[in-house]
């Protein structure tokens, strides 16, 4: 982490959901042992606190009240978003594994955010069909590589002028700079 990144984290105080981030890392390794696709299939790769500080600043700046997240993991991002949205804000988060959504619900209760976080189990593309918008912000943390099949549905659920945030911007950075040392096509396909 850069000195500036460390400075920002010191300025804002400790990560209020660090326990969830640590649990997420341990969970991914354990869950991977039971999945043919390993860690990538589990998909619990929580953002770091600095990134969440930046994303929640965007959420607050947009005066968002309703947020949809695809790729809930164990709820690390959803908890940050729920706290940023305030008492009248709501986060709907989708994850395909029931053990993940159960953990999201448990953590939301533990941190006093139960009324603000709803965890929905299922594949993003399927669950999106049953949701009603509009959402002020959609955070797609499940998308990876090519345009998701559900992209048009995201646009339908987003309010006019709303924000679509995608966490995997590092892929764009790698494409532009030629950086990165991981061959993502190994599990994301050639495109």
Q: Which residues contact 84 (CB under 8 A, 6 or more apart)?
A: 56, 59, 60
pLDDT, residue 51, reads: 85
Residue 41 is predicted with a pLDDT of: 87
Burial 165-191 (b: 16+ CB within 10 A, else e): ebbbeebeeeeeeeeeeeeeeeeeeee
What's the whole-model pTM score?
0.86
Confidence label for 191 from pLDDT (cuts 50, 70 and 90): low
Q: Residue 153 has what DSSP assignment?
A: H
**Highest mean pLDDT: which of 9-13, 25-29, 186-190?**
25-29
Q: Are 118 and 91 in contact (CB under 8 A)?
A: yes
6 vs 165: CA distance, rounded Å? 24
pLDDT of 111 > 70? The answer is yes
Residue 105's pLDDT is 98
- Using pLDDT thresholds of 50, 70 and 90, give the confidence band for residue 113: very high
**Residue 69 forms beta bridges with which residues?**
93, 139
Share the mean pLDDT of the chain. Answer: 86
Summarize pLDDT for 43-102 with one digit per residue, the tens.
898 888 888 988 999 999 999 999 999 999 999 999 999 999 999 999 999 999 999 999
The pair of three-digit structure tokens given for residue 16, joined into one six-digit string? 């209020």
Q: Regarding predicted confidence, which is higher, 100 or 170?
A: 100
Burial class (CB in 10 A: 0-12, 13-18, 19+), 39: middle
The domains found in the chain, sorted by start residue, are: 54-183 (3.40.50.150)
Looking at residue 188, what is its pLDDT? 56
């Amino acid at each position: 982490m850069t000195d500036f990144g460390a400075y920002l984290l010191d300025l804002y105080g400790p990560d209020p959901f660090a326990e969830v981030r640590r649990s997420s890392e341990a969970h991914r390794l354990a869950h991977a042992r039971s999945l043919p696709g390993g860690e990538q299939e589990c998909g619990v790769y929580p953002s770091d606190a600095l990134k969440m500080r930046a994303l929640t600043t965007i959420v607050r700046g947009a005066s968002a009240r309703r947020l949809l997240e695809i790729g809930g993991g164990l709820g690390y991002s959803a908890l940050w978003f729920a706290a940023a949205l305030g008492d009248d804000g709501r986060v709907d988060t989708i994850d395909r594994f029931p053990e993940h959504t159960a953990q999201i619900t448990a953590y939301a209760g533990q941190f006093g955010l139960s009324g603000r976080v709803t965890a929905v189990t299922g594949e993003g593309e399927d669950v999106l069909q049953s949701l009603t918008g509009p959402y002020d912000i959609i955070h797609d943390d499940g998308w990876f590589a090519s345009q998701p099949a559900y992209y048009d549905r995201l646009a339908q659920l987003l309010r006019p002028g709303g924000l679509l945030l995608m966490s995997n911007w590092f892929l764009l950075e790698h494409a532009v700079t030629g950086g990165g040392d991981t061959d993502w096509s190994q599990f994301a396909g050639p495109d």
